[in-house]
Amino acid sequence: MNNLLNKRRAGVLRHITSLPGHHKQGDLGQNAYHFVNFLHDSGVTVWQTLPLGMTHADGSPYQCLSAHAGNPALIDIDGLEKLGWLNVSENCEECEGTPAFNKSCLIAKAYKGFLEVASTKDKNDFTQFCRQKAYWLDDFALFIAMRNVFNQQSWNQWPKAFKEREATALAEARERLALTIAEIKFEQYVFFRQWMALKTYANERGVLLFGDIPIFVSYDSADVWANRSVFKLDKTGEMSVVAGVPPDYFSATGQRWGNPHYDWQYLEKTQFAWWVERMDTQLEQFDILRIDHFRGLEAAWEIPASEPTAQHGQWVKAPGHALLTAIKAKLGAIPLVAEDLGIITDEVEALRDEFALPGMKILQFAFGSGPDNPYLPDHYERNCVVYTGTHDNDTTVGWTQTINSHDRNHALDYLGNPSISLHCALIQAALGSVANLAIIPMQDILELGSEARMNTPGTTVGNWKWRFQWSQLSHERATRFAYLVSLFNRT
């Protein structure tokens, strides 16, 4: 167990996009710093976010265009103005006919301003950033530039020379798209600069940043395009099998994610170099990391690509022990959390426990199925992370309004028939449990219903859009939450 996780702590789950602000979605600006202050004042020492990668059009942070790159949509434009690199009030010919606030265009303008007025130190920092990140940044910048040229088509739909990464074609593209590529690299420089400044601010106030690593990457990504040998693809680069999970609590037909599976045989030959680099990037950004769908490191559900649902697949073994051993050998004792929800076997638990990784406990899963339910708090051990619910669950208020009477009565009896509301009792149960880390979604602190749900698994519309307003965080709610954090010795 890593020392960061071997201590009684409280955390809050809330993604960057859910921050308030005057732009289309939350970003790394002043509201992020205000949120750190709220956590600090509440005695909370962990802020958990969703993945920070550059999303596709559906906005899902679990289907990104790169396993390394940050999402430029999270960049704080006001911060670029304060540096003197950007004047938003100036007219922009490229933005004519588009919405008034076009962040990509504004960042491109900021790059021009950066070249004109940035200090020598900042320019040297940018050069050094590009050099240090070249192992993923060069391919990513070219990938995004060409994706723009080809109208956002997936790389397997590009002309053959670019799809197959023919050297002459790529050299020509790099020359022709040099300015766009430089702007894309600048976007990443700004993102990492702003994120690391936020991380420093949080750490100085005793707040750790807790990130999330999707076990699989998107097929339409720079990673797959540039590293086809890492993935199970045929000679033409197409997928014959895709990732997902069989039918479970969330979906009667399972979830067909559509990601490519790993070619573990190739990865073992390379000592898992691609995975080690990926983990290294994330460790730079976060203090604690969760491996989403951890059970896929022991065995993953392979679905024939021709199947429309996840029902007709099979479990295929993965070398999780060898992978985690290689990561530990290269990067040390990483503070990892295993997302071990769903169909969990003895082999998965053994892999988790061999590396002393905390698993997850969800209180919304605890009631109605009898005393052996592993999500009931009397089964917890210290080395775990408890949640009232996650980004994939309904809010706890929403859940309490939809559960059947049997499950409700079980919950009320188990919790001692509290005089407070059931959702408040569940927050107290999480914070009062023996779990080292208790994470409460921001929606639950704000007592919000199903309208504030972040994601509904198996659906692609209406997700990832929830945002909160500071007016929802009343003094009474903030004070009560801080009191509970202190009451249960999690400050």
Which tens digit of pLDDT belongs to each residue from 162-201? 999 999 999 999 999 999 999 999 999 999 999 999 999 9
3-state secondary structure of 59: coil
What is the pairing mode between strands 9-13 and 437-441?
Answer: parallel
Residue 158 has pLDDT above 90, yes or no: yes
Mean pLDDT of 328-334: 93
Q: How confident is the model at residue 78 (pLDDT cuts 50, 70, 90)?
A: very high
Q: What is the pLDDT of residue 342?
A: 82
395 and 453 in contact (C-beta within 8 Å)?
Answer: yes
Residues 6+ away with beta carbon under 8 Å from 102: 92, 94, 95
Which tens digit of pLDDT belongs to each residue from 285-297? 999 999 999 999 9
DSSP string spanning 136-154?
HHHHHHHHHHHHHHTTT--
Mean pLDDT of 113-134: 98
pTM, two decimals, is 0.95
Residue 96 has pLDDT above 50, yes or no: no
In angstroms, rounded to a whole number, what is the distance separating the alpha carbons of residues 198 and 36?
Answer: 9
Which are the catalytic amino acids?
292, 339, 392
321 C-beta neighbours (distance < 10 Å), count: 14
Residue with tokens 């809330």: 14
Q: What is the pLDDT of residue 93?
A: 56
Greater confidence, 93 or 459? Answer: 459
- Average pLDDT value for the chain: 95
In angstroms, rounded to a whole number, what is the distance separating the alpha carbons of residues 388 and 364?
Answer: 6
Helices and strands (H and E) in the chain: how many:
18, 12
Mean pLDDT of 304-326: 96
Tell me the three-class secondary structure of 179-221, residue by residue.
HHHHHHHHHHHHHHHHHHHHHHHHHHCCCEEEEEEECCCCCCC
3-state secondary structure of 465: coil
What's phi and psi for 119, nearest 5 deg? -70, 160
Which tens digit of pLDDT belongs to each residue from 259-314? 999 999 999 999 999 999 999 999 999 999 999 999 999 999 999 999 999 999 99
- Percent of the chain past pLDDT 70, that is, above it, reads 97
Q: What is the pLDDT of residue 425?
A: 98
Label residues 256-265 b or e (16+ Cβ within 10 Å = b).
bbbbbbbebe
Torsion of CA 100, 104, 105, 108, to 10 degrees: 150
Mean pLDDT of 134-162: 98
Q: How confident is the model at residue 97 (pLDDT cuts 50, 70, 90)?
A: very low
Mean pLDDT of 217-235: 97
Which tens digit of pLDDT belongs to each residue from 427-455? 999 999 999 999 999 999 999 999 999 99
With residues binned 3-state (H G I as helix, E B as strand, rest as coil), the percentages for the chain, rounded to 5, are: 45, 10, 40
Mean pLDDT of 87-105: 64
Which tens digit of pLDDT belongs to each residue from 340-367? 998 799 999 999 999 999 999 999 999 9
What is the end-to-end Cα distance of the chain in Å, rounded?
Answer: 20
What sign for the dihedral angle of Cα 127, 327, 240, 348?
negative
343 and 245 in contact (C-beta within 8 Å)?
Answer: yes
Q: What is the pLDDT of residue 457?
A: 87
Task: Provide the H-helix boundaries in 74-166.
Answer: 77-82, 103-117, 120-132, 134-149, 160-163
490 and 8 in contact (C-beta within 8 Å)?
Answer: yes
Which tens digit of pLDDT belongs to each residue from 372-416? 999 999 999 999 999 999 999 999 999 999 999 999 999 999 999
Count Cα neighbours of 368 within 13 Å in the Cβ-side half-sphere.
Answer: 10
Q: What is the pLDDT of residue 95?
A: 53
138 and 225 in contact (C-beta within 8 Å)?
Answer: no
In angstroms, rounded to a whole number, what is the distance separating the alpha carbons of residues 171 and 178?
Answer: 10
Residue 74 has pLDDT above 70, yes or no: yes
